[in-house]
Amino acid sequence: MGEPVFFPRLRPQPVTKGLKLGRGADFIGCNMLTGTYTAIVTPFRGGKFDAPAFKRLIEMQIKGGVDGIVPAGTTGESPTLDYKEHIELIARAVEYARGRIRVMAGTGGNSTSEAVYLTQEAEKAGADSSLQVAPYYNKPSQEGLFQHFLEISRATKLPLVLYSIPSRCGVEIGVETVRRLAGATPRVVGIKEAGGNADRVSQLRAALGSRFSIFSGDDALTLPFMSLGADGVISVVSNVLPRQVSRLVAAFRAGNPSAALKIHQQLYPLFKDLFIETNPLPVKAALAMMGFIEEEYRLPLVPMSAKNRAILKSTLLECGALRHD
C-alpha cells in the first residue's frame, strides 16, 4: 500500500532505524496478552512532547508492576499527534521499556491506510502488539469494520487487539465481527471492551474461547469483567496508582477474589473521579499534582474546572496518591 494522504499531519522522518523488531510473533497462537496494561498519557512541555517526563512515567509503571503500556492511544491524545510525534512516542516507549514490560502501540485510526501506516511503523520501532480502535465518526457497517481490521492484519506481523468503545466511535465492534476476524487471521488476538456491558464479556468468551484476550476498558468494571472471563485491564487509573491496579488484577488471576474486591473498593472513588471530566484531563491533572508532568494539553482539550479539580484532589488524597501538605 502506498503512502497515505489525509488531514493535516506531517510526513514523518524515519526515527526507528536500528531498533530491533518486537516480540509480536510470541503472541500468535497463545494467550499471552493478560494482566494490567496502562493507557499511558503523553506529557507535553511548551507544546512539545516531553521525552524526559515520559521516561519517568514509564519507570514508574515498571516499578508499579504493570505488564505493559499503551503509548499513543486515545488517553495519550493520539488525535493531536502528528505522524512524526506518533511514531517517535512509540519508539521512545520501546527504548525506555527495554523489554521489561510489553509495549502495545496505539496505531488505530478512522482511515484504514493511516492505521496500516502507523502499525507498520510501530512494528519497525519494536512494539510487541498494536491496539486498534474502531474507526470513529465514519460509523462503518460491521462488514466495513471487518474489512478495515482485516486489511491492517495483512500488513503487519504484530498481534492486534481491537478496541470497541461505542460512546466515542459511534459504532460497536459486533461479537460476530470479532469472531469472523479471529477466524480469518491469527493476528487478531484480543479486544479492549469499553462499552460498559458485562454481558458482552460472556458473549465474547463463548464465541471466541479461552485463547482470545479480553481486556476491560473501564477501570470500574475490571473486577466484574474478570469475574466473567476477562484477562485484565487496559487502565487509565494505573497511570496514577500502577501497583494497586496491578495487585487487583493479579489477586483475581491468582484465585483470590476477596483480595481483589478489597482493592476495588479502596480504589473505587478514584475509578469514578478520574473520569469526572473528559479523559485524559483528570489523569493528567492528577499526575501534575503528583509532580510527574506539566499539566499541559492540546486543543481542543482545556484544563479542568476549579470545582472538579478540587474534587479530584480530595479523592487523590483519600486514595493515598497524594500526601497532605
Per-residue pLDDT at 52: 98
User: Residues of the chain with pLDDT > 70: what percent?
Assistant: 90
CA-to-CA dists, residue 288 to 41, 42, 109, 281, angstroms: 11, 12, 28, 11
Residue 294 is assigned to a structural domain of this protein: no
Q: Measured between alpha carbons, how far is 140 from 51 in angstroms, rounded to an integer?
A: 36
251-284 in b/e form (b: 16+ CB < 10 A) is bbeeeeeeebeebbeebeebbebbbbbebbbbbb
Contact 12, 87 (CB under 8 A): yes
Residue 237 is assigned to a structural domain of this protein: yes
DSSP state at residue 25: G
Count of CB atoms within 10 A of residue 23's CB? Answer: 17
Contact 125, 16 (CB under 8 A): yes
Lookup result for grid cell 460476530: 176
Q: Measured between alpha carbons, how far is 203 from 172 in angstroms, rounded to an integer?
A: 14
SS3 298: coil
Per-residue pLDDT at 31: 52
- The model's confidence at residue 14, banded by pLDDT at 50, 70 and 90, is very low
Residue 301 is assigned to a structural domain of this protein: no
Q: What is the mean pLDDT of the chain?
A: 92
In a 10 Å sphere around its CB, with 0-12 CB exposed, 13-18 middle and 19+ buried, how is residue 72 labelled? buried
For the stretch 79-133, pLDDT in tens is 999 999 999 999 999 999 999 999 999 999 999 999 999 999 999 999 999 999 9
Long-range contacts of 320-323 (CB under 8 A, 24+ apart): 320/241, 321/240, 321/241, 321/270, 321/286, 321/290, 322/289, 322/290
Residue 305 amino acid letter: S
Tell me which residues are annotated as active site: 163, 192
Residue 102 is assigned to a structural domain of this protein: yes
Identify the domain containing residue 149 by its residue range.
24-254
Per-residue pLDDT at 303: 97
Residue 42 is assigned to a structural domain of this protein: yes
Beta pairing class for 213-216 and 160-164: unpaired
CA-to-CA dists, residue 265 to 135, 245, 258, 315, angstroms: 34, 12, 11, 13
**Rounded average pLDDT over 159-174:** 96
Q: What is the CATH number of the domain that holds 142?
A: 3.20.20.70
Predicted TM-score of the model (pTM): 0.91
**Rounded average pLDDT over 183-193:** 98
Q: Is residue 4's pLDDT more than 90? A: no
Contact 82, 298 (CB under 8 A): no
Per-residue pLDDT at 5: 37
Per-residue pLDDT at 324: 80
Per-residue pLDDT at 12: 34
- The model's confidence at residue 166, banded by pLDDT at 50, 70 and 90, is very high
Residue 114 is assigned to a structural domain of this protein: yes
Residue 303 is assigned to a structural domain of this protein: no
For the stretch 195-247, pLDDT in tens is 999 999 999 999 999 999 999 999 999 999 999 999 999 999 999 999 999 99
- Number of residues that make up the chain: 325
Count of CB atoms within 10 A of residue 51's CB? Answer: 15
Per-residue pLDDT at 219: 98
Residue 315 is assigned to a structural domain of this protein: no
Per-residue pLDDT at 325: 73
**Rounded average pLDDT over 296-315:** 98
- The model's confidence at residue 16, banded by pLDDT at 50, 70 and 90, is very low
3-state DSSP of 44-62 = EECCEECHHHHHHHHHHHH
Q: Measured between alpha carbons, how far is 153 from 168 in angstroms, rounded to an integer?
A: 23
Per-residue pLDDT at 13: 34
Q: What's the number of domains the chain is made of?
A: 1
Residue 298 amino acid letter: R
